[in-house]
Structure formats: structure tokens, C-alpha cells
């Protein structure tokens, strides 16, 4: 395989750092761009000695120029806590970031992949969600800056493709978890594991009967690379997610079991517009990319728990008297 020059925006984040590792392992040159809003240099520190890796501090809301063959556009906070912190900035990141990166791809004739999301389906009324479903999205709710921003980015991708022949790829990512999530990230898997390891109460929002389908990060990275490498007539969007659906209460119980924690499960108010059910239909990914997820929830959770143990043990060694595992 020919080595390529690949730009990864949001490369110091959770998914981006795994993707950078994978692309380097495949022999490519990787330019990792990030403004460190939710990402951390720590996630890519171990790659800095590699002469094929370069780390660049930049904000995608302003134009950026570099020579590259491919662009993976991941820059955008993904946790509700962080994307709601500055909703206008979130929308700017999705929309202006997409425009700036599409402009770059157009100028370079580079192939560009957009990290879109299952949130484009909103609180879906169709189950499971296939790519043909247009979604059920509130344009003025707490999640809108993220959902609507990601929908607008998809539109920009499609229009740059139709109008300017830019070679595009769109993946709609469903809930993904794994090592290198930020312990303070606020998403459900990291929250529950950190709470369990610290011996804190586990905060289930609502009754915990809402569902999600959790994908381990290695499966996602494989799907993204397969999509980038797929035939040019296939632009997507394509769902990349694990169709095994769990309630949030089941997830909390499983994490308590796997950590051996004494934590109590408690219930808190459900945030507004929190989707009730989410599960991908992955027939298109199977057919077009020959891709299916391989990592079962328990296996992925064990790896993620082991990661958070190391992180927390360094920060607060005294905590580990509280857990039995
Ligand atoms: P993350 O928050 O860990 O990573 C996002 C990265 O983008 C961070 O490193 C952050 O610092 C960077 N960033 C944010 N705004 C930026 C800006 N204006 N300029 C430059 N960099 C900026 O989240 P993640 O889970 O790694 O998500 C990566 C991408 O995948 C996001 O686009 C997200 O919307 C998408 N996605 C993720 C999931 C998931 O479950 N992890 C699900 C659906 C979609
Ligand atoms: N959630 C929860 N407790 C938490 C964090 C999240 O019960 O501490 C719930 C949240 O209300 C949602 C689900 O878990 O129903 C997934 O939340 P997350 O923020 O991980 O992702 P998203 O809602 O964007 O799918």
C-alpha cells in the first residue's frame, strides 16, 4: 500500500488519537490538528517520537493549509456536557470547520471523510435507524447546536461533492467508548466507570430505560478506514455502530459487576431531548464495506475499566482501597 499524507482534525481527542495510531501503524504520514478543547496532548504523547507524526495546534473555525492526500474531519466536542458549554462555538466548529476542511480538500483534490453522528436522527421515531431515515430533530433544543451543526456539515459535504466534485465520505458514528476517553468527559460509559472506581454513586438519568448501542473504539476506527478506502462512488452516509442495544440501567448494573464496586445506582432528572432509543441498522456498512463490529460489550468494558484504573491510580491511589476488583 502506498503511504499517504493524512490530516486528522480533532486528532488529540478520544477517537482521533486511536485513528492517528492506526494510520501510523499502516505506514502513513499523519498530521494531527487540535485546539485541545476536549482533547489532550497526553493522548498522542507516545506518538511524538515518530518522524511520520506531526502535532499542530489549530482551531478549525479558521482556514488551515497543508499538503495532504486525505482528511479525516473529527474536530468537534462530542459529549453533551462539552458541546453545550458554548453552543455557538459548537455550531461554528461543525459548520465553519466543515467549510474550511472542504475548501482545503477542494484545493488539494484530497479525499475527505466527515465524522457525522447518530444524533442526526435526533430522538428517532423509526427503529433501528437506517441511513434513509431523515430523523426527528428539535432545531432549538439543548442538543441542537450539535445535531443541527452535524446535519449542516453533511449538507455541505454533499454540496461540495455535487457542485465541486470533492471526493467525500460521510460516516454516522453511534455511541463509541474505550480507553483514552477523558475521565471528566461526561459521557455515560466514562461517567459510570469513573464513578464505580471512585466508589461514588452511579448517576442514571431518568429511569434508565432509554437505550443506546455501544461500540468499542477499535471497531469504529476499522469502519472509518474501510470507508475512506472504499470505492469513490460510495460517498455515504453510512452508519458505523454496534447494533447490540442496552438500557442505560443495564449498562450501570454491568459496570458495577465488572468493577466489583460498592457504588449505589441513583436516579437523576433526564436531560431534555434525550433520545429514548438508539440502534443502528448496519446493513449498508456490511454490504458496501464488508464491515461488522467484533468487540462484545463486556470485552470492551473490561479494557476500558483497565484503562481508567491506571489513570485514576496515578491521580488518586487512595481510591483503590474502595474497590474490590
Ligand atoms: P472528543 O471530544 O474526544 O474529540 C474531539 C476533538 O476535537 C478534541 O480533541 C477537541 O479538542 C477537538 N476540537 C474541538 N473543537 C475544535 C476546534 N474548533 N478546532 C480544532 N479541534 C477541535 O470526541 P470524540 O468522541 O473523539 O469524537 C470525535 C468525532 O467523532 C467528533 O466529531 C464527534 O462528533 C464524532 N462522534 C463521536 C461519537 C462517540 O461516541 N465518540 C459518536 C458520534 C460522533
Ligand atoms: N447518562 C446517564 N448518566 C450519566 C451520563 C449519561 O444516565 O452520567 C445517559 C444520558 O441521559 C443518555 C445516555 O446515558 O440517555 C447516553 O449519554 P451520552 O452523553 O453518553 O451520549 P448521548 O446521549 O449523546 O447518546
What is the pLDDT at residue 11?
Answer: 98
Q: Which ligand 1 atom lies nearest to the CA of residue 176? A: 40
Residue 289: C-alpha distances to residues 179, 217, 235, 236 (Å)? 25, 17, 12, 11
What is the pLDDT at residue 319?
Answer: 56
Q: Which ligand 2 atom lies nearest to the CA of residue 79? A: 19
Q: Which ligand 1 atom lies nearest to the CA of residue 215? A: 40
What pLDDT digit, counting tens, does each position of 56-91 carry? 999 999 999 999 999 999 999 999 999 999 999 999
Do 325 and 259 meet the contact criterion of CB atoms below 8 Å apart?
Answer: yes
The residues, ordered by sequence, that sit 6+ positions from 95 with a Cβ below 8 Å of its Cβ are 149, 152, 153, 156
Q: Atom 21 (ligand 2): residue with closest C-alpha?
A: 187
Question: What's the CATH superfamily of 5-180+216-241+280-295?
Answer: NAD(P)-binding Rossmann-like Domain (3.40.50.720)
Ligand 1: does its nearest atom lie under 6 Å from the Cβ of 194? Answer: no
Q: Atom 5 (ligand 2): residue with closest C-alpha?
A: 188
Ligand 1: does its nearest atom lie under 6 Å from the Cβ of 39? Answer: yes
Q: Atom 6 (ligand 2): residue with closest C-alpha?
A: 188
pTM of the model: 0.96
Q: Which ligand 1 atom lies nearest to the CA of residue 40? A: 9
CA 306 to ligand 2 center in whole angstroms: 21
What pLDDT digit, counting tens, does each position of 8-62 carry? 999 999 999 999 999 999 999 999 999 999 999 999 999 999 999 999 999 999 9
* Cell numbers placing 144: 441542537
| Domains of the chain by residue range | 5-180+216-241+280-295
Q: Which stretches of the chain drop beneath a pLDDT of 70?
A: 317-325
List Cβ<8 Å contacts ≥24 apart for 17-20: 17/43, 17/44, 17/180, 18/178, 18/180, 18/217, 18/218, 18/220, 18/221, 19/72, 19/74, 19/221, 19/224, 19/225, 20/44, 20/47, 20/53
Q: Atom 2 (ligand 1): residue with closest C-alpha?
A: 77
CA 43 to ligand 2 center in whole angstroms: 23
What is the pLDDT at residue 315?
Answer: 78
What is the pLDDT at residue 318?
Answer: 61
CA 229 to ligand 2 center in whole angstroms: 32
What is the pLDDT at residue 104?
Answer: 98
Which residues form the catalytic set?
Answer: 146
CA 265 to ligand 1 center in whole angstroms: 29
Tell me how far apart the alpha carbons of residues 225 and 65 are, in angstroms, rounded to a whole number: 23
Amino acid at each position: 500500500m502506498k503511504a499517504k499524507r493524512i490530516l486528522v482534525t480533532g486528532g488529540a481527542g478520544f477517537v482521533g488519537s486511536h485513528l492517528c495510531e492506526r494510520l501510523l501503524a499502516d505506514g502513513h504520514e499523519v498530521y494531527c490538528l487540535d485546539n485541545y478543547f476536549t482533547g489532550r496532548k497526553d493522548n498522542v504523547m507516545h506518538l511524538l517520537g515518530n518522524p511520520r507524526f506531526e502535532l499542530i495546534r489549530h482551531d478549525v473555525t479558521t482556514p488551515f493549509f497543508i499538503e495532504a492526500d486525505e482528511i479525516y474531519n473529527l474536530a468537534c466536542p462530542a459529549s453533551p456536557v462539552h458541546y453545550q458549554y458554548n453552543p455557538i462555538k459548537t455550531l461554528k466548529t461543525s459548520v465553519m470547520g466543515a467549510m474550511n476542511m472542504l475548501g482545503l480538500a477542494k484545493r488539494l483534490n484530497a479525499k475527505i471523510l466527515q465524522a457525522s453522528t447518530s444524533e442526526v436522527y435526533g430522538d428517532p421515531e423509526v427503529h433501528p435507524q437506517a441511513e434513509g431515515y431523515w430523523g426527528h430533530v428539535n432545531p432549538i433544543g439543548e442538543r441542537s447546536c450539535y445535531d443541527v451543526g452535524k446535519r449542516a456539515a453533511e449538507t455541505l459535504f454533499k454540496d461540495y461533492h455535487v457542485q465541486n466534485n470533492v471526493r467525500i465520505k460521510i460516516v454516522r458514528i453511534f455511541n463509541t467508548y474505550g480507553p483514552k476517553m477523558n475521565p471528566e468527559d461526561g459521557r455515560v460509559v466514562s461517567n459510570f466507570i469513573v464513578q464505580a472506581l471512585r466508589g461514588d454513586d452511579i448517576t442514571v438519568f431518568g429511569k434508565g430505560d432509554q437505550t443506546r448501542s455501544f461500540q468499542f473504539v477499535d471497531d469504529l476506527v476499522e469502519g472509518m478506514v474501510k470507508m475512506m478506502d472504499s470505492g469513490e462512488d460510495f460517498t455515504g452516509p453510512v452508519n458505523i455502530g454496534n447494533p447490540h442495544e442496552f438500557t442505560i440501567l443495564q449498562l450501570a448494573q454491568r459496570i458495577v459487576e465488572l468493577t466489583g464496586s460498592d457504588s449505589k445506582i441513583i436516579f437523576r432528572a433526564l436531560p431534555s431531548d434525550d433520545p429514548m432509543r438508539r440502534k443502528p441498522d448496519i446493513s449498508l456498512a456490511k454490504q458496501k464495506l464488508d464491515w461488522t463490529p467484533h468487540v462484545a460489550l463486556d470485552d470492551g468494558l473490561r479494557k476500558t475499566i483497565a484503562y481508567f484504573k491506571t489513570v485514576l491510580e496515578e491521580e488518586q491511589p487512595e481510591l483503590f482501597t474502595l474497590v474490590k476488583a
